[in-house]
Structure 1
């Protein structure tokens, strides 16, 4: 099928294959191509051929592709670099789209910046009954505390405003929002959550983890039309970033229906590997026919479940075995008792689902590893370790527990930019000894674990080159620290590319169809403006995507 012309640099094909006429095979010529293969070899190629269904016919020299596609149309790439489509193994697609349609505080350097942004947003959106946003980080603001409802009232007092922290594990409400949620000094902390209070016991406006549900219950429900706008915005950015596949960490019934609808209509411009959020009513409905291993030419799958063990490090909600080094009275928050979370894991495994559990603190990771150790053998007939169960984040792990990932057969699903975003506070939280088991990519790789890399967007940027840069340099975009933060845990460039391609595909049971550019796989690839393997590692985050192709269809082109 013929790629559809794009009118501007951010244009995305709304229906990238639905109405395009059939055509002969296609060959890319004069490419500076790189791909890994199933033997972990980095291969170079100058030509790539694929058929009109989007399957790769040949990869190699011009002579090799010409032999497989003698009557193809040819596209001259003029020496530009071609890579396999990148895969984000942990993101929140609808969360990304919501952030793109709400107040984005990720760039706020100070509390004053955030308050001004809230004021400006309120003025620009007078018809919104509720104001919502995301991205604040009190660590960057150097407050030494959380912000307060009183401070937010100074920006917006006449309407409720609810602003999620950058990690999504805490939220900041103004007084009007707390009133609508019924939060008073007498409101108890819910299980797995915390209402931040002042010295007199009054709620200050910040709600951590499960306490956020108090506000979530009174937020206006999203309509299907709004959900479609959100999904469209997310898919647009995903294509622009060079992601051809994403693992969506928490899908509900309505979102599943939209994904299937978009796939049926030719509007799903990235592959989505879905994880059902929790094992409650949505799981009961979605799992009635068992795991959906593939749908619409591998565009969609729903064969995993996403659960939560604990909170996040930045809000001190991550569950630790010993108290926080910078808050000795706190161990963080385990969301559930061992028996309860293990029962949830049991229910998902019993249904034949891959289980992917959020665990950030060492106590959270240990709780989940203990559950896997008990349950995987029990459900051998349902797939057992072959289902490739995962720990999402595996962020701070007791050094003695790292080896258990390999022996039990658990995939560490990790996000490299978390290290470079958290390095301003992580060691303060856990101290100099526990930090040795944190963001420990090299230690995991050395023992033979396959790391599935992602970003956790919108917690972090959806740009995968930020993740590759962080994995290789252990530095932020400004090159700090000069020697890299715990650089002994860095990846090589080849390893970083693999964790965003083949190993991410493997973690989603899709390594036979995606993750590399090999004969018979889908022609999911990107064209970028620089050569990763010849440029300085410090500049990898500057790589720009020129084209994104999914199944041989161009879904993004920068003009």
Structure 2
């Protein structure tokens, strides 16, 4: 009897402890209930509800478990059956470009050269004579109708110049790797038949496109853009702040909680810090310092990375720009372009410089991110990375997380090297959707099949693939890129079965590429990127279940709520 009584007392004690434990749960600030929650946590991939305390995830689980964290002051957010994921991370885009796109002529959606000319004519009517007309977003390979007069795959300036005789016009290509100027802009820059002839149409790392008679067509590629670009009036800080504000709001509207800016200067960093201090920076930012300013990289290398304990403004990467884009035939290839014999693209930064910056990054604790699209550019950059790692045998290359931005077209021999050196492939799946229909003309079928947009081959080589859009090259909306990741089709749903379908991501891989892999690419995977206890309460809520709906419906899905640090910073209608 004594033994039984002891067991009963012990049982009551355990029950009392259990009840006490439940009653002493620290109440949550907010709980999110009645949703489908995809956590990107392999051990607990799908839950019903989430509790948040002090901006961090307090608990995840089923509804009954999470309701235990509800107190008198707890805000209850009913998701009404919507789908929650970790906050989407844009791993490669251009913040100020996104903002300025809303302040200039947006040419992303023009479908013909004539439509582009019409937009410029409208802008000229509102401008004073002599004012610069600027814009971005045109892409001749996406036009549904090509102009009659084309030189080396591009339109010529005559129609543009006719509608803007007194206003210099400068229109950047969607890729950022070419620009289109009118006669007035070329006149101001001193570009004419004679100057072109003396330059043979080429400048170091770029080209001034000319016709058979040596006349400039108005197209400037790669570094040649600077000939006219340097004349465009500098932006004011007031306008820059306006652009940043617009870009932040666009991120929040689209469910983006973190943003990797792919190449900016000190003024941008200072602007971010000012916005943070003023409470206007509602997202988390990770900045790559532009390699176009060597003195800037040296200055930061001397003082080291800026890692924000608040996880809002971190500066920990250098960005180099080693070749051009396929659209402008500037991507640097091992073999000549299929549609332009004898042309191999451009090396826009000497490879010796890549090696120097790689060593400087390793010495100072910075990540190096190198733009490389063509297979030769990727190979040469990997060679420079390997050389730098070999000079620091005590450093584990896998800990450095160097990146290649885009990695669109790879030689078969180089794919495994991404995994071996833990070089992150920061790729934008939407580029496959937009570019693949015409990229085959640039590369030919063999090179496309073997090494273009090879996400599965990279992941099978144990490489991390981080997703994004390269906005404003493409629209900032992550869902078309998510769709392209799994469908490998155009946004019109073609072709049936997708392009090189064996390289498509699963939906789980695509979600991870936009969340946890993006966090890993900025050394933040222990802080964000998945819905786990102890991580930041950064969430994106969609009106449809992107993990189960038919793939075309993904393009009609909207972000209905964006949460950063537990705060609802955007709600859709």
Instruction: Give the whole-Å Cα distance in 2 for the aligned partners of 1:256 and 1:443.
Output: 36
Contact 1:162–1:173 under 8 Å retained in 2: yes
2:177 maps to which of 169, 178, 186: 169
- CA deviation vs aligned residue, 1:311-352 (integer Å, no higher than 9, x gap): 000100000011101111201101133223322332333322
1:158 maps to which of 143, 166, 176: 166
Q: Does 1:202 align with 2:215?
A: yes
Instruction: Give the whole-Å Cα distance in 2 for the aligned partners of 1:525 and 1:303.
Output: 24
Instruction: Give the whole-Å Cα distance in 2 for the aligned partners of 1:539 and 1:485.
Output: 19
Instruction: Give the whole-Å Cα distance in 2 for the aligned partners of 1:110 and 1:430.
Output: 24
Give the match for residue 20 of structure 1: none
1:215-364 alignment runs, 5 A limit: 215-278=228-291, 280-295=294-309, 297-364=310-377
Q: Alignment length, in residue pairs?
A: 533
Contact 1:304–1:354 under 8 Å retained in 2: yes
Aligned partner of residue 199 in structure 1, secondary structure: coil
Contact 2:93–2:470 under 8 Å retained in 1: yes
How many Å apart are 1:69 and its aligned residue? 4.8
Which shows bigger deviation, 201-210 or 183-192? 183-192
Give the match for residue 25 of structure 1: 29
Which shows bigger deviation, 275-284 or 202-211? 275-284
How many Å apart are 1:384 and its aligned residue? 3.8
Instruction: Give the whole-Å Cα distance in 2 for the aligned partners of 1:125 and 1:175.
Output: 17
- CA deviation vs aligned residue, 1:343-394 (integer Å, no higher than 9, x gap): 2332333322100000000110011010011112323556643120000000
Give the match for residue 106 of structure 1: 108
Instruction: Give the whole-Å Cα distance in 1 for the aligned partners of 2:523 and 2:228.
Output: 37
Give the aligned CA root-mean-square deviation in angstroms: 1.7
Higher relative contact order (CA 8 A, sep 6+): 1
Aligned partner of residue 91 in structure 2, secondary structure: strand
Instruction: Give the whole-Å Cα distance in 2 for the aligned partners of 1:362 and 1:426.
Output: 14
Give the match for residue 57 of structure 1: 58
Aligned partner of residue 97 in structure 1, secondary structure: helix
Which shows bigger deviation, 313-322 or 188-197? 188-197
Give the match for residue 18 of structure 1: none
Instruction: Give the whole-Å Cα distance in 2 for the aligned partners of 1:126 and 1:551.
Output: 46
Identify if the C-alpha distance between structure 1 residues 128 and 240 changes in structure 2 by more than 3 Å, giving closer, same or farther. Answer: farther
Which shows bigger deviation, 380-389 or 475-484? 380-389
Identify if the C-alpha distance between structure 1 residues 457 and 380 changes in structure 2 by more than 3 Å, giving closer, same or farther. Answer: farther
Give the match for residue 140 of structure 1: 142
| Gap runs ≥5 in structure 1 | 1-22
Instruction: Give the whole-Å Cα distance in 2 for the aligned partners of 1:86 and 1:340.
Output: 34
Instruction: Give the whole-Å Cα distance in 1 for the aligned partners of 2:469 and 2:44.
Output: 24
1:371-410 alignment runs, 5 A limit: 371-379=384-392, 384-410=397-423
Identify if the C-alpha distance between structure 1 residues 471 and 41 changes in structure 2 by more than 3 Å, giving closer, same or farther. Answer: farther
Instruction: Give the whole-Å Cα distance in 2 for the aligned partners of 1:455 and 1:182.
Output: 36
Q: Does 1:464 align with 2:478?
A: yes
How many Å apart are 1:66 and its aligned residue? 3.2
Give the match for residue 422 of structure 1: 435
How many Å apart are 1:184 and its aligned residue? 2.6
Instruction: Give the whole-Å Cα distance in 2 for the aligned partners of 1:194 and 1:500.
Output: 35
- CA deviation vs aligned residue, 1:130-153 (integer Å, no higher than 9, x gap): 111011111123345312222211
Give the match for residue 43 of structure 1: 45
Which shows bigger deviation, 215-224 or 229-238? 215-224
| Gap runs ≥5 in structure 2 | 1-26
Contact 2:106–2:137 under 8 Å retained in 1: yes
Aligned partner of residue 536 in structure 2, secondary structure: coil
Instruction: Give the whole-Å Cα distance in 2 for the aligned partners of 1:419 and 1:42.
Output: 32
Which shows bigger deviation, 92-101 or 263-272? 263-272
How many Å apart are 1:429 and its aligned residue? 0.5
Contact 2:32–2:78 under 8 Å retained in 1: yes
Instruction: Give the whole-Å Cα distance in 2 for the aligned partners of 1:223 and 1:178.
Output: 24
Identify if the C-alpha distance between structure 1 residues 204 and 127 changes in structure 2 by more than 3 Å, giving closer, same or farther. Answer: closer
Instruction: Give the whole-Å Cα distance in 1 for the aligned partners of 2:164 and 2:353.
Output: 40
Aligned partner of residue 256 in structure 1, secondary structure: helix
Which shows bigger deviation, 170-179 or 126-135? 126-135
Contact 2:422–2:464 under 8 Å retained in 1: no
1:548 maps to which of 553, 557, 562: 562
Which shows bigger deviation, 181-190 or 427-436? 181-190
How many Å apart are 1:167 and its aligned residue? 0.3
Contact 1:181–1:217 under 8 Å retained in 2: no
Aligned partner of residue 50 in structure 2, secondary structure: strand
Instruction: Give the whole-Å Cα distance in 2 for the aligned partners of 1:463 and 1:402.
Output: 28
Instruction: Give the whole-Å Cα distance in 1 for the aligned partners of 2:172 and 2:110.
Output: 13
How many Å apart are 1:128 and its aligned residue? 8.0
Contact 1:57–1:65 under 8 Å retained in 2: no
Instruction: Give the whole-Å Cα distance in 2 for the aligned partners of 1:27 and 1:363.
Output: 51
Contact 2:92–2:260 under 8 Å retained in 1: yes
Aligned partner of residue 36 in structure 1, secondary structure: coil
Contact 1:376–1:385 under 8 Å retained in 2: no
- CA deviation vs aligned residue, 1:281-335 (integer Å, no higher than 9, x gap): 222334442011225x101110001101100001000000111011112011011
How many Å apart are 1:45 and its aligned residue? 1.7
Instruction: Give the whole-Å Cα distance in 2 for the aligned partners of 1:370 and 1:42.
Output: 40
Instruction: Give the whole-Å Cα distance in 1 for the aligned partners of 2:530 and 2:224.
Output: 42
1:130 maps to which of 132, 145, 149: 132
Contact 1:414–1:454 under 8 Å retained in 2: yes
Contact 2:301–2:360 under 8 Å retained in 1: no
